[in-house]
């Protein structure tokens, strides 16, 4: 059973992948879920690290680390 059926479980998620097609697929899935308030997508790891270094916090970070 779901513990919190009407609330958001994760407020923010970051997805990093250098392949735009992979980002589009992940974005499509996340947009269909109601468990994430906000998602950000990065195809450039340097841009992602700049955001992290400014103190931004994500509940979940998904990365392709090939």
On whether the CB atoms of residues 13 and 56 are closer than 8 A, the answer is no
On whether the CB atoms of residues 44 and 15 are closer than 8 A, the answer is no
Q: Whole-model pTM?
A: 0.67
Instruction: For the chain, 66 residues long, give each residue's pLDDT as a single digit of tens.
Output: 444 454 445 678 888 888 888 888 888 888 887 677 888 888 888 998 998 899 888 888 888 866
Q: What is the pLDDT of residue 56?
A: 86
Q: What is the pLDDT of residue 20?
A: 85
Q: How would you class 3 by CB atoms within 10 Å of its CB: exposed for 0-12, middle for 13-18, buried for 19 or more?
A: exposed
């Amino acid at each position: 059973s779901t513990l919190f059926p009407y609330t958001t479980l994760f407020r923010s998620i970051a997805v990093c992948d250098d392949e735009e097609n992979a980002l589009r697929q992940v974005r499509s899935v996340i947009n269909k879920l109601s468990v994430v308030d906000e998602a950000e997508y990065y195809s450039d790891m340097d841009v992602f690290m700049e955001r992290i270094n400014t103190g931004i916090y994500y509940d979940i970070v998904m990365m392709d680390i090939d």
